[in-house]
Structure 1
Amino acid sequence: MESPPGGSHGQGGVSPSPEAVRRLREMALRDRQEGDEPDLPDDQLRSNDQLQEDEMLALEAIYGDKLDIFDEKSVPRSFQIHVHCEIPDGFSVSAELLQGVDDYPNSRFFHTFSVEHLAPISLTCLMPPSYPSHHSPYFTLGVQWLDSVKISFLCHMLDSIWAQQSGQEVVFEWVQWLQSSTLSHLGFDDGIVIRQPDDSMTDPVDVRLDREILSVDDVVQRLINYNEEQCQEAFLNGLHVCMICFSDYKGIDFIKLPCGHYFCRNCMETYSRMHVKEGSVMKLVCPDNKCGGFVPPNLLKSLLGEVDFERWERLILQRTLDSMADVAYCPRCQTACLEDEDNAQCSKCLFSFCTRCRDRRHVGERCLTPEEKLLSLEEREKVRKLCKGYAGSSNLADEIRSIKEILRSSVPCPHCGTAISRVSGCDHMRCRNCNKSFCYGCRKPLNPTHTSEQCRRDYEKLTEKLDTAGSIKELVRKLKLGVCKPHPCPSCHQITYKLGNNNHVFCEACRVHHCAQCRKVVRKSSEHYGPRGCKQHTVNPDIAKTRPKKKDDSQLASL
């Protein structure tokens, strides 16, 4: 609605109502015609006018932007005050809503939510010439969250306050009572209850209520919106501490995330640019350690600027494509392609390739294993050496070295074939390409019944591994001689071996040192081994009994 000419809008969330002023003027005119409005001498009228002017000045000084004066020069004077009820912490609103279902079309349930601010009560007043000496101000009350009967109770209470102090200025008393006693008078000390209208109720309704007919759903939505607006306004005007730099700033200098946490703009800009610069865009979430909520793209755009935001978009797209199991990259132009039964076609260069070996598409042919591909490349390398000036010689040599390194230090993922290399830890591996788990020892997918004992690597499996330095062959030779004995690691239970008489064993799987004699983890050798601890060098009695007394070099060589 538009305010009347000369009126002003307050910041209480409710606009002045011309309809309410019109109704008040009709009430005053009717009372004058019926004789309820007395005719007063001029000196009494001048006294009342001065008292009204003084009261208006006092109300304007006390309530400020909560007071809307419709027309300062008009007589009689009319205005509206937005009264904010005092509510305790944890104040709740319970609304009775309808939820129609097949068997119960008119079923009802209560929706309860907490608020920190209630929509104000609109008190619209008109001061007749006989106020305050003989007649009270004409008024209307408007409350969004009360029904007509309860608003009528409030109107009768304002009449009783005037009756107790007739002949005195009463508007300030009305506002104070509405602000502090409305909820307790209606029995809403802990929270208000909004119910569906009951058509069977016949309680009288006061004509002075100024209430727009709204459904319960609309009332609930208005209360929620008003509470959010007031909380945001209070946040912007208050001082807060940034939990990154621990400095105090006004709320207008903070960035508030959807999760509810807020940090100063300078810290959020630095935090966002750092992750984009380092490429760790998947970690660009709420800086709170226990949250991890997302940061909206429109907010990131304002924090990063155009250039960094475009880089963030590219990185997010790249990470998303990398996490998709059916996306492969063209080996020629590195364009993302959709995989279809181990084959894909690049939309940019139109190259059709096998997603397993990344070579040309070979329908009906068995895909090359890495070992077979290495042999093929080595043959091509031999041809290159015979043909001088071969243009692709450098790339071919690099590819051969790369495949050799992959075969030597990695195993293929059983799900997607990506080469995986273990640096440390147990056999439980997760492929970064397809995000699926498998066992590094047996190279099989993990399932709920899989145990580490099913894939322990004994010396027969060790002999099948590639070993250019001959260390595994030496270990197998010592196993056959009985020089070393298998011992499970106390940390990860991986099978390790005691070499000779040395009880100090190192687990390659979890990178932990332990003692073969007491089967405990060794933190410091100088503290664990000694007169009061374990002996670092002891002969295993079982091995000593089974060891041959004499073996010459020829016998060792045959083994």
Structure 2
Amino acid sequence: MALRDSQQGEEPDLPDEQLRSNDQLQKDEMLAVEAIYGDNLNILGENSVPRYFQIYVYCEIPDGISVSAELRGVDDYPTKFSVEHLAPISLTCLMPPSYPSHHSPYFTLAVQWLDSVKISSLCDMLESLWAQQPGQEVVFEWVQWLQSSTLSHLGFDDGIVIRDSDSTMDHVDVRVVGGILSVEDVVQQLISYNEEQCQESFLQGFHVCMICFSEYKGIDFIKLPCRHYFCRNCMETYSRMHVKEGSVMKIVCPDNKCGGFVPPNLLKRLLGESDFERWERLILERTLGAMADVAYCPRCQTACLENEDNAQCPKCLFSFCTRCRDRRHIGEKCLTPEEKLLSLQEREKVRHLNKGGTGPSKLVDELSSIKEILRSCVPCPHCGTGITRVSGCNHMLCKNCGKLFCYGCGKPLTPAHTSYSLDTKSEPMLPFESEQCRIDYEKRTAKLGNNNHVFCEGCQVHHCALCRKVVRKSSEHYGPRGCKQHTVEPEVARARPKKNDDSQSESL
């Protein structure tokens, strides 16, 4: 026996009656250990004499424990984390015929996350437990002590500290099994084991889905990389709904405050082959659509790279203009939608006369619709998006490019925007590009009596009729150092002195 050979001590010659008594005590102890730790007990030889077994002992950490790693010569090593599960202590025992009357069991200890010196300390402690009560069964007590007192014995009540130790300078017990691992390897083993056990605990427990609020076992849940989890039925419905509607960019973590990424390999399990292929195609289309230099072939709708307003389809090899989507016309001016509509309408007339068509083509209908849309809207001068005003003033904000322009004249709102005024001697008005812009503004900012505080119904902003500036606070804008809040219109002011002059002349 290698386990016996590695430890000192010779078996005494015992009478048969003592041997039978020891054998019965060993059987009873094995039955007790197997009944309590059956899942963690591994008997290495059925009905073998001497008895040889291995038991895995799990340290008790009900609330988890923190782990700190220290590297020799490195002050800022950043590894500090907490774990809920520690790798078990492997206790291998061999019961000699003289146990428990004369000898303790021969044993070895192996712990992945402890160095050899600390494991040697545990071996000495187990030996002292046997010395305190010789002649008594001790295996069950060893297991209980390792389970409940290992961390406190090593000084790890407030957290486990992993550091490099020079084992050659300290006593290493021969009963220690395992090689010397680096701090990085120990940290990786602790993290990996903790994640595996947490996942196993999750799968065996019951949880509530935050979408349908139903309770299921962990194996019926989908756990996302962001640590949020939802039941499989809800995740499948959620994913397939977005794929069916084409909103594939919205397939993220359903938690409102998260929006985490859902990996493709998980989506493949949720969607199935056909829906996943559609998801891949839509994702590709959305990605290509976000690229400024990508256009689609008007014949087969294949994505093409644009090069100076021209592109060639890699599938059907059709070269076309990316502006008018017609065949490539180098050196010729690109037609506007109105011009192209007239050209197509003339072609349609000739085709009807020659062959007798049944109606206008689909492209003609589309261009006719574009023409009607352009007729009732003003294109943004920055990006060309058609804008229709429902109500309000002429100062427009394009929802496509986010830039300002004047709806009356269709030009950008810049500091160089021309100013107009009814009277050249009065204060300049707000900037207008045309007379129509000014008229529309004055209709919305007409004074009520002599009050110069004007509220624009279009843009919902307060203005001053004298200086044409925005009024933030009336108490700050009007007063001795500012504008007068109540004044008479210039026409009325000029008319009143004339009546006084007439009255004066009549009196004279």
Normalization by structure 1: what TM-score? 0.71
Asked if residue 92 in structure 1 is aligned to residue 59 in structure 2, the reply is no
Tell me which residue corresponds to 2:338.
374
Query: Where does structure 2 lack aligned partners over 5 or more consecutive residues?
Result: 422-433, 472-485, 496-508
Q: 1:279 to 1:129 in 2, by over 3 A?
A: same
Q: CA shift at 1:393, angstroms?
A: 4.0
Q: CA shift at 1:281, angstroms?
A: 0.9
Residue 9 of structure 2 aligns to a residue whose secondary structure is helix
Q: 1:270 to 1:478 in 2, by over 3 A?
A: closer
Match 2:26 to one of 47, 52, 55: 52
Residue 161 of structure 1 aligns to a residue whose secondary structure is helix
Q: CA shift at 1:85, angstroms?
A: 0.8
Asked if residue 31 in structure 1 is aligned to residue 9 in structure 2, the reply is yes
Identity of aligned residues (%): 62
Q: 1:240 to 1:400 in 2, by over 3 A?
A: same
Residue 262 of structure 2 aligns to a residue whose secondary structure is coil
Q: CA shift at 1:380, angstroms?
A: 5.0
Residue 389 of structure 1 aligns to a residue whose secondary structure is helix
Residue 272 of structure 2 aligns to a residue whose secondary structure is helix
Query: Where does structure 1 lack aligned partners over 5 or more consecutive residues?
Result: 1-21, 99-103, 432-436, 444-450, 461-474, 487-495, 521-538, 549-559
Distance 2:378 2:242 in 1: 30
Asked if residue 156 in structure 1 is aligned to residue 124 in structure 2, the reply is yes
Q: CA shift at 1:26, angstroms?
A: 1.6
Q: 1:407 to 1:115 in 2, by over 3 A?
A: farther
Tell me which residue corresponds to 1:273.
240
Distance 2:419 2:75 in 1: 69
Q: 1:89 to 1:386 in 2, by over 3 A?
A: same
Distance 1:47 1:300 in 2: 64
What is the number of residues matched between the two proteins?
A: 451
Q: Which moved more, 1:281-290 or 1:267-276?
A: 267-276
Q: CA shift at 1:147, angstroms?
A: 0.9
Q: 1:420 to 1:254 in 2, by over 3 A?
A: farther
Match 1:411 to one of 379, 382, 395: 379
Q: CA shift at 1:114, angstroms?
A: 1.6
Q: Which letter maps to 1:265?
A: R
Distance 1:289 1:459 in 2: 51
- Map Cα deviations across residues 503-546 of structure 1 (whole Å, 9 max, x no partner): 99653xxxx768889999xxxxxxxxxxxxxxxxxx99638649
Q: CA shift at 1:406, angstroms?
A: 3.2
- Map Cα deviations across residues 114-141 of structure 1 (whole Å, 9 max, x no partner): 2111111111111111111121111111
Residue 77 of structure 2 aligns to a residue whose secondary structure is strand
Asked if residue 203 in structure 1 is aligned to residue 170 in structure 2, the reply is yes
Q: Which letter maps to 1:331?
A: P
CA contact (8 A) 1:413 1:420 kept: no
Q: Which letter maps to 1:193?
A: V
Output aligned runs, 1:139-218, within 5 Å. Answer: 139-198=107-166, 201-218=168-185
Residue 80 of structure 1 aligns to a residue whose secondary structure is strand
Distance 1:358 1:540 in 2: 60
Asked if residue 64 in structure 1 is aligned to residue 11 in structure 2, the reply is no
Q: Which letter maps to 2:154?
A: L
CA contact (8 A) 1:27 1:138 kept: no
CA contact (8 A) 1:97 1:110 kept: no
Distance 2:437 2:209 in 1: 64
- Map Cα deviations across residues 268-303 of structure 1 (whole Å, 9 max, x no partner): 111111111211111111000011011111211221
Distance 2:112 2:446 in 1: 85
- Map Cα deviations across residues 182-230 of structure 1 (whole Å, 9 max, x no partner): 111111112212222436x521111111123333322222211111110
CA contact (8 A) 2:406 2:413 kept: no
Asked if residue 244 in structure 1 is aligned to residue 208 in structure 2, the reply is no
- Root-mean-square deviation (Å): 3.7
Tell me which residue corresponds to 1:339.
306
- Map Cα deviations across residues 244-279 of structure 1 (whole Å, 9 max, x no partner): 111111101101011100001111111111111211
CA contact (8 A) 1:378 1:400 kept: no
Q: CA shift at 1:423, angstroms?
A: 7.3
Distance 2:330 2:494 in 1: 57
Residue 286 of structure 1 aligns to a residue whose secondary structure is coil
Distance 1:428 1:485 in 2: 17
Normalization by structure 2: what TM-score? 0.78
CA contact (8 A) 1:352 1:360 kept: yes
Tell me which residue corresponds to 1:354.
321
Asked if residue 439 in structure 1 is aligned to residue 439 in structure 2, the reply is no
Q: 1:131 to 1:341 in 2, by over 3 A?
A: same
